[in-house]
């Protein structure tokens, strides 16, 4: 299926062009990964959070920084380490002697786009500090609730859990990520261009912002308005049901996973220029949405293989 122009009913022509230019700009920085770049934009437009998992040196942080520079949101980066504390992320209340009361000093999470770099190098207690922020777009410190900026978007990178010095993310944390994707090694032509080209950090530092806060909010509203038919909802429900009885799956997909899949499919359809989502959109996203949410039996392989098997087992009516 060929991409069409984004519908004027959903987006203005300048915003349509700005979105296309933004995607092209990120693709010029993250070479040879157009599918992964599209999935990253779909996550942003769907109002979710993105987890990028791969070996060191394969471009996880480059993707996150390229996207951050291009979308023009207020940006903070945190390097997660084994000695990081929850207060280092959320902030802390400090007693103000002059005013004679505690004053809250916000942490790096109070931004529009947070890059949580190597999130699984921090212990579980620190990882869990992001749970409320990602789910509710707020944090509670010392009994007081503080709202986060809108939009609020987390891009987290992590190394495979079998590498030294990593802590596996708990299921509750994984569920907060709308999509998980991997980059893998670049193709031969992309790798040669990467080796011969300018340093990516220098290029990203010179990258102009092509979108802004208002643009991102407008794109999210347009994505949310994309139509999902009753037949498509039934297809998603059939995938959820199959995941709960599929051989090798100990814990299947929840209703929240189904809602996430539909949100992502709407955003993906918008990126392809449609005002309605299709089964092809669900199929293109299913592995990225479902694999990290499935809990396999001990000898059943990983979630990626199970997600593929579930997808193949459910026919489109």
Each residue's pLDDT, cut to its tens digit, for the chain (317 residues) gives 334 444 434 578 889 899 999 999 999 999 999 999 999 999 999 999 999 988 878 888 899 889 989 999 999 999 999 899 999 999 888 877 777 777 888 899 999 999 999 898 888 888 888 888 999 999 988 888 999 999 999 999 888 766 666 788 888 888 999 999 998 888 899 889 888 888 888 999 999 999 999 999 999 999 999 999 999 999 999 999 999 999 989 999 999 999 999 999 999 999 998 999 999 999 999 999 999 999 888 776 788 999 999 999 999 87
Query: Hey, CA dihedral for 39, 286, 292, 303, is it positive or negative?
Result: negative
| DSSP code of residue 182 | -
3-state secondary structure of 50: strand
CB atoms within 10 A of CB 11: 22
Give me the pLDDT at residue 269, please.
96
Fold assignment, 226-317: Helicase, Ruva Protein; domain 3 (1.10.8)
3-state secondary structure of 242: helix
CA separation for the pair 143, 52 (Å, rounded): 32
CA separation for the pair 285, 235 (Å, rounded): 14
User: How, if at all, do strands 153-158 and 50-53 pair?
Assistant: parallel
Record the tokens describing residue 80, joined without a space.
Answer: 């997660």
Annotate 57-69 with b (16+ C-beta within 10 A) or e (fewer).
Answer: ebbbbbbbbbbbb
CA separation for the pair 263, 255 (Å, rounded): 12
Work out the angle between the directed axes of helices 213-224 and 255-271 (0-180°, nearest 10).
Answer: 110
3-state secondary structure of 222: helix
């Amino acid at each position: 299926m060929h991409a069409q122009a984004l519908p004027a009913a959903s987006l203005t022509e300048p915003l349509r062009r700005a979105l296309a230019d933004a995607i092209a700009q990120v693709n010029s920085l993250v070479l040879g990964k157009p599918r992964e770049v599209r999935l990253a934009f779909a996550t942003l437009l769907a109002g979710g959070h993105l987890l990028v998992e791969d070996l060191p040196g394969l471009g996880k942080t480059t993707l996150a920084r390229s996207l951050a520079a291009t979308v023009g949101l207020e940006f903070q980066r945190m390097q997660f380490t084994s000695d990081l504390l929850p207060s280092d992320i959320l902030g802390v209340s400090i007693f103000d002697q002059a005013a004679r009361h505690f004053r809250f000093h916000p942490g790096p999470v109070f931004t529009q786009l947070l890059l949580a770099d190597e999130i699984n190098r921090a212990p579980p207690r620190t990882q869990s500090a992001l749970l409320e922020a990602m789910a509710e777009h707020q944090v509670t410190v010392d009994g007081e609730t503080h709202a986060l900026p809108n939009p609020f978007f987390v891009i987290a990178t992590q190394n495979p859990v079998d590498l030294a010095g990593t802590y596996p993310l708990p299921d509750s944390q994984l569920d907060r990520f709308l999509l998980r994707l991997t980059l893998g090694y670049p193709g031969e032509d992309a790798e040669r261009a990467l080796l011969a080209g300018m340093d990516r950090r220098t290029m990203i530092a010179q990258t102009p912002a092509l979108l802004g806060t208002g643009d991102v909010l407008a794109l999210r509203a347009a994505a949310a308005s994309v139509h999902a038919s009753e037949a498509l909802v039934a297809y998603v429900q059939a995938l959820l049901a199959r995941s709960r009885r599929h051989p090798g799956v100990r814990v299947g997909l929840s209703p929240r996973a189904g809602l996430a899949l539909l949100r992502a499919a709407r955003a993906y359809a918008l990126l392809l220029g449609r005002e309605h989502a299709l089964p092809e959109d669900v199929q293109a996203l299913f592995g990225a949405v479902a694999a990290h949410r499935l809990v396999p039996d001990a000898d059943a392989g990983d979630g990626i293989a199970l997600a593929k098997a579930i997808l193949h087992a459910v026919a489109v009516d």
